[in-house]
Structure 1
Amino acid sequence: MTPLDRRGFLRAGGAGALGISSLGLAAAGAHPAHPAHAASGTFFRHGVASGDPLPTAVIIWTRVTPTDEAGPGSGRGPAVDVGWQVARDAAFRRIVARGTFRTGPDRDHTVKVDVGGLTPGTTYHYRFLLDGRPSPVGRTRTAPPVNAQVAALRFGVVSCSNWEAGHFASYRHLAARGDLFGIIHLGDYIYEYAGGEFDAGGKVVRANVPAHEILTLADYRMRHALYKTDPDLQALHARHPWMIVWDDHEVANDAWSGGAQNHDPATEGSYAARLAASRKAYFEWMPVRVRAGGAIHRRLRFGRLAELTMLDLRGYRSRQESGLAVDDPSRTITGDAQMRWLKSGLSASVGRARWRLIGNSVMISPVAIGSVPAHLLGPLGRLLGVPAGGYTINPDQWDGYTADRRELLGHLHDGRIDNTVFLTGDIHTSWANEVPLTAATYPRTPSVATEMVVPSVTSDNIDDILGVPPRTLTLAAEAAVAATNRHVRWSELDSHGYGVIDLTAERVRMDWFALSDRTRRDAASSRMASFAVAAGSQRLTRLSTR
């Protein structure tokens, strides 16, 4: 079977509903559009942001435009000293930390400060100053003390925010909530495509800047800058700390460690150079804490209630393959070192955190097609060339790396590591999954975790790609998913929106919210489903949405 990119995977999902054998669910690409220019002379045109809260530290971020010539990606403008302040109050009468950060064209005039010496579990306000003129004020929080008995936590969960396909109303709705600790973004914060290549079902809602596919450092800086002109994105960054990990479109579609589906070395040059440019721009423009050697996988603790592990599933993975190659134990999605780090961290967390949340950019639950799962074919399946995990519809997911999945799920099972919840984005659709140790014999064999997949903020899903009305053709696709995947408790393949995850010692609950129209900034939001997993159960219960 020829590997499908995510757009083909989603298209296959709609085709499956029409009786075609391949059933899938994903998409690719995106583009942004031209925002209104900030008024000439405004220093802080891209807002403020914070991220990666620790008990005594948090990152604060902004970008300054000291002169009109110093636009993003321009490489021009003077080096300047930018002041920063962190206070206990929004009026900045009780400043607890301050300093100066020198920035210039070498870092695209971005400012990123890892502020330490703070009090755990505390709300702070922060701002920046240039020539005595203040930035907008941001609000952030530090994590609770590591041994604190935290009663509850709540996070917004988002992914796949494609500028050209619509407005970021999901961000507006989350920014309006006062009950969130922070935001978990699971990747595809920006998209690399040229204008018109991945729009709203043929309609460009907002035009990309630059208009061409981004390849160079200047290109990536301009695209990041474009996204951070969105008022709803700015509002959400200013309201809550974010915990972010990249997926593929921060570089190029279906990226792997040595290339990408959307990169042609013959016409676009060295992938290594493109990757380096994208990474530099990402670290400049995003409020993320970078580990030694430029690694982005990391852990964040929230008292004794939860530990959040953010995975990098692009930087170390083998190239996507299909057929029997998906079972090759030499192929990896995590890389050996990250897998060791992940397993040891999960084992260690059992004694220190009630819940293990894993920020997981691509779906880990298997998706089978046809009436007989491949596991049941036994040796005959081998002779027919059927992979051990069944036919792989989307080899860009963990389905394409079955040895790593078996290793990780086996570790959870053998180590009696319960209360693990995978938080997933990437495929622009909504899912509530029980993660089986062996899908073919589920539920006679155990579930070792649960998975909650959030929809895209704006990126195309099945009905968009096929050009059909929502809740029509995809109803058959959802029924087929349910019939052939007993571990999938619910899927919704049409809506755009976001999730809100709520944690207590007794259970984790996810609410999925759908937008009325991704192309409208004033789109309404409504809850479409809610599921909970009780501590120790690894099984999902559907809750009423009334």
Structure 2
Amino acid sequence: MVENNGVIASATGQFARRTLFKGGTAAAAVVVLSPGTAHAASAVFRHGVASGDPLPGAVILWTRVSVADDATPGSGLGAPATVHWEISANESFAGISASGTVTTTADTDHTVKVDATGLAPATDYFYRFTALGETSPVGRTRTAPANDSDVERLRLGLVSCSNWEAGWFGSYRHLAARTDLDAVVHLGDYLYEYGRGKYTGRSGAVRAHEPANEIVTLADYRTRHGQYKTDPDLMALHASVPFICTWDDHESADNSWREGSENHDPAVHGPWSARRAASAQAYLEWMPVRATRTGTEVQIYRRLRFGTLAELSMLDLRSYRDHEAGPGAGWRNADDPARTITGRAQMDWLTAGLTSSPAQWKLIGNSVMVAPLVFPPLEPATTQAITEALGIPQGGLTVNGDQWDGYTADRRTLFRTIADNEVGDVVFLTGDIHTSWAADLPLNAADYPGGPTVGAEFVIPSVSSSSVGDLLKMPPRTTSVPAEEAIKAANHHLRYTELDSHGFGVLEVTPAQAQMDWFYVADVTDPATGVRHGVSFAVPAGGRIEPRPTPLH
């Protein structure tokens, strides 16, 4: 199936993993190395291949065809191209499991999205595309287990916040070197919208954004997506494992909400609705995600099942939210029951799914932190007067109103639904804040650890975007350490925080527990950076977060 403007049209249709792309400039050919083979890919497929959203019998396949040297992403140039695709359980493609032919044009920026159906559950597949007389690199993917199957283990890579100018994507390279992942979950900020040099890392820009301006138009967003897809480490990861993605704010503009963004000036940038539509269209063209469209509305919140072991609900917390609460008297808005971060339809969908899921583990792909991060967590029985006098939300003074802390009514609804329906084994997987956290989720933070909890949250660091340590411009693990201890002292449910390092997470889910391991790269300004294991925490089935001395292998 090929997707046009975000709508997928019908077409019929053993990770022996290691695919390394060497190269990465937009005009260069790419060399792909896989076990026992080497393929030289022409510049026709200079943006690589990708897969995503695995189902028991289907998976999205993606590529882009460069039909001419001047038909660059966002150019609007280039003739239509006929593209043949095929997927096989054999690396030699001796037997074809599904195949088809689609036509791509400048209307979709010459991207190709195929929903390859008729596949077997829990099966490793190889796929490739052919166009203009050339064959693409070979990608690997994997379908999900059958919904009713007993699954002993699910292992996911988790990433977020990859800023091209702030650093190299070493986290992607180290994830691509693993041979044990069922999928990679990208929790948002896959790219950044800023103009050249406007948001860089500790050492300034390590490479320059294209286009040079802040991206606003459809052509701009397409150009920026195309640039990110030339990163060799990102290309390698996409080719080795399926992605499950949601967007956060920087795929459109910083601190975006339903009707605008902190960095969007209608007098300068034009209507927010036009910019938001342009960013969404480019995202759906360039990312291997399933989406549904009703008129002009695009829905990307969705669920994926992994047998009876786990169900993953991917949220969209940008398209439907109200403007965030602000300092001073505006903090009162955080408690307003009329305000929402999810939108009513998505909240109904989320709570209904949690209370009816047949899977043991309920995983939630969540772009902004849900655990309370407040100073201090106040006793509800004694805070009404303080709240009314000072405008401090009942849960405490919110550090970041862009998180669920700025939408406490929605969080209470969600947490109370989990508690009242005795929904067990709920784990939120979160990105956004460029730092690492492990948290129990109490119904009332001031009562922790004596009161009930409704689940746990694991927050992963950024791939490259500036951390707190970067912004302080102090040596790592110096100034930030006492800050971490002060945060945990004021918020007892926060079991771990690390404010300096960049990296990724690996989540292993078994019937006994859900364990997150944090991995940290040494230097995002070094394209060959090494990686180290940071820490391991796990949630036992039916329990609360505990540290683990043994990392995942």
Query: What is the TM-score normalised by the length of structure 2?
Result: 0.90
Question: 2:292 & 2:422 partners in 1: Cα distance?
Answer: 29
2:466 paired with 1:460: yes
Distance 1:430 1:541 in 2: 16
1:534: which partner in 2? 540
Secondary structure (helix, strand or coil) at the match of 1:476 reads helix
Of residues 491, 497, 501 in structure 2, which corresponds to 1:485? 491
Aligned residues of 1:299 and 1:309 also touching (Cα < 8 A): yes
How far apart are 1:375 and its partner, in Å?
3.8
Q: CA deviation at 1:521?
A: 1.4
Task: Measure, in 1, the Cα distance between the counterparts of 2:432 and 2:319.
Answer: 16
* Whole-angstrom CA distance in 2 between matches of 1:414 and 1:188: 34
- 1:355-376 Cα shifts (integer Å, max 9, x gaps): 0000000000001225x63646
- Equivalent position of 2:384 in the other structure: 379
CA 1:514–1:545 in 2, change beyond 3 Å: closer, same or farther?
Answer: farther
1:66 shift after superposition: 1.1
Q: CA deviation at 1:39?
A: 3.0
* Residues 1:376 and 1:463: Cα distance change in structure 2 (over 3 Å): farther
Q: Determine the C-alpha separation between the residues in 2 that align with 1:259 and 1:527.
A: 39
| TM-fit CA distance, 1:467 | 1.1
What does residue 192 of structure 2 align with?
191
The CA deviation string for residues 335-382 of structure 1, in whole angstroms up to 9 with x for no partner, is 000000000011111xx1010000000000001225x63646423212
Q: Equivalent residue for 2:287?
A: 286
Give the share of equivalent positions with the same residue, in percent: 54
2:370 corresponds, among 349, 364, 388, to 364
1:297 counterpart residue number: 301
Q: Distance in 2 between matches of 1:171 and 1:141?
A: 18
The answer as to 2:552 corresponding to 1:544 is no
Distance 1:267 1:374, change over 3 A: farther
CA contact (8 A) 2:468 2:499 kept: yes
Q: What's 2:84 paired with? A: 83
Q: Distance in 1 between matches of 2:387 and 2:477?
A: 38
- 1:203 Cα shift? 1.0
Secondary structure of 1:163 counterpart: coil
For the pair 1:39 / 2:28, whether they are aligned, the reply is: yes
Which residue is 1:317 aligned to? 321
The structure-2 alpha-carbon separation of the partners of 1:545 and 1:506, relative to structure 1 and needing over 3 Å to count, comes to closer
User: What letter corresponds to residue 316 of structure 1 in structure 2?
Assistant: Y
Unaligned runs of 5+ in 2: 1-22, 30-41
- RMSD after superposition: 1.3
Shift of 1:543: 1.1
Listed one character per residue, the Cα deviations across residues 223-254 of structure 1 (whole Å, up to 9, x for unaligned) are: 00000000010000000000000000000000
Q: Any conservation in 1 of the 2:254–2:261 contact (CA below 8 Å)?
A: yes
Q: Distance in 1 between matches of 2:231 and 2:274?
A: 28
**AA matched with 2:508:** D
**Equivalent residue of 1:78, what SS?**
coil
- Aligned pair partner of 1:392 in 390, 398, 413: 398
| Mapping for residues 72-111 of structure 1, pairs under 5 Å | 72-111=73-112
- 1:402 matches 2:408: yes
- Contact 2:26/2:47 (<8 A) preserved: no
Could you say what secondary structure the match of 1:52 adopts? strand
Query: In the TM superposition, what whole-angstrom CA distance separates every residue of 1:249-278 from its partner, at most 9, and x where no partner exists?
Result: 000000000000011111111111000100
Alignment match of 1:343 (pick from 351, 367, 375): 351
Name the aligned partner's letter for residue 46 of structure 1.
Answer: H
**Structure 1 stretch 291-300 or stretch 487-496: which is displaced more?**
291-300
Alignment TM-score, normalising by the size of structure 1: 0.92
Choose between structure 1 and 2: higher strand proportion: 2
Is 1:470 the counterpart of 2:481? The answer is: no
Instruction: Compute the displacement of 1:94 (Å).
Output: 1.1
Q: Map of 1:5-404 to 2, 5 A cutoff?
A: 36-39=25-28, 42-293=43-294, 294-322=298-326, 323-349=331-357, 352-370=358-376, 373=378, 375=380, 377-384=382-389, 385-404=391-410
Shift of 1:409: 0.3
| 1:308–1:357 contact (8 Å) kept in structure 2 | yes
SS where residue 71 of structure 2 aligns? coil
- Aligned residue for 1:320, secondary structure, equals coil
Q: CA deviation at 1:545?
A: 5.0
CA distance in 1, matches of 2:266, 2:395: 32
Q: Is the 8 A contact 1:375 1:390 kept in 2?
A: no
Q: For the residues of structure 2 that align with 1:440 and 1:541, how far apart are their CA atoms? A: 20
Kept in 1: contact 2:53–2:304 (CA 8 A)? yes
Report the equivalent of 1:498: 504
How far apart are the structure 2 equivalents of 1:482 and 1:530?
A: 17
Unaligned runs of 5+ in 1: 1-33
